[in-house]
Amino acid sequence: MSVRRGIIEVVDGLGVEQVRSDHPSGLGKRGDWARIHRQDIESDKQALVVLKNSLIDPDNVLFNWDANRDPCTWNNIHCQNNKVTSVLLSRNNLGGNLVPELGTLSALQDLSLINNTIEGTIPAEFGNLENLQILGLSDNLLSGEIPPSLGNLKSLNLLFLDHNKLTGKVAPEIGNLSSLTWADLSANSLCWNFWPTLKFVGNYTLCQKK
């Protein structure tokens, strides 16, 4: 399928779409293009609704995360080209759990939930976020191991997992992230299968060989 340039303007509350396309035939193709873009944002919205339902929100921060509205209009959500690019929920007194559905946010660049009281494990599906540049989950109550799948995040620049309850071995794949410039995994109960480079701040312990 060829890529066609265009824009969709959604009129809030009316559901009216205006599509401009450079396709020479005009009619018959614009509807397909618009439908694909609606599917993109609908998929992102469904993932975020699952997250909302998994979080405890005593301060009602997510009050306008309405499944009947465009998620690009929600608080703490940023979008580009009809795709969610940032989920910024740090310091919002949120509890509950992370959800694997966040791994479907294909355009996500920044996932930040620092300084909340989120529990449970880090979903392995986060390793599917190929455009992710910032992962901020520090100062929560996360437990379990750091998924080795995070070693797939080739665009990741900043990684903050410090001050949680994480345990186990840090996979070598995480140490080999080519774009990583700063990482803090300290204040957990982790050990390392490799000597961390200077981009990993904090004090770390090598795993004992059995």
User: pLDDT (tens digit, 9 = 90+) per residue, 118-175?
Assistant: 999 999 999 999 999 999 999 999 999 999 999 999 999 999 999 999 999 999 999 8
Residue 43 has pLDDT above 70, yes or no: yes
Residue 39 has pLDDT above 70, yes or no: no
What letter represents residue 95's amino acid? G
The pLDDT score that the predictor gives to residue 92 is 98
Residue 3 has pLDDT above 50, yes or no: no
The pLDDT score that the predictor gives to residue 203 is 79
Residue 33 has pLDDT above 60, yes or no: no
Binned at pLDDT 50, 70 and 90, residue 89 comes out as very high
Report the share of the chain in percent with pLDDT over 70.
80
Rounded CA gap, 183 and 126, in Å?
A: 16
Binned at pLDDT 50, 70 and 90, residue 197 comes out as confident
Tell me the average pLDDT of the chain.
Answer: 84
The pLDDT score that the predictor gives to residue 192 is 87
Task: Name the pTM for this structure.
Answer: 0.81
The pLDDT score that the predictor gives to residue 167 is 95
Mean pLDDT throughout 104-116?
A: 98
Residue of 7, 175, 169 whose CA lies nearest to 81: 7
Rounded CA gap, 161 and 114, in Å?
A: 9
Mean pLDDT throughout 11-16?
A: 24
The pLDDT score that the predictor gives to residue 96 is 98
Query: In angstroms, what is the C-alpha Rg of the chain?
Result: 20
Would you say 188 and 164 are in contact if contact means Cβ atoms under 8 Å apart? yes
Residue 13 has pLDDT above 80, yes or no: no
Rounded CA gap, 97 and 117, in Å?
A: 9
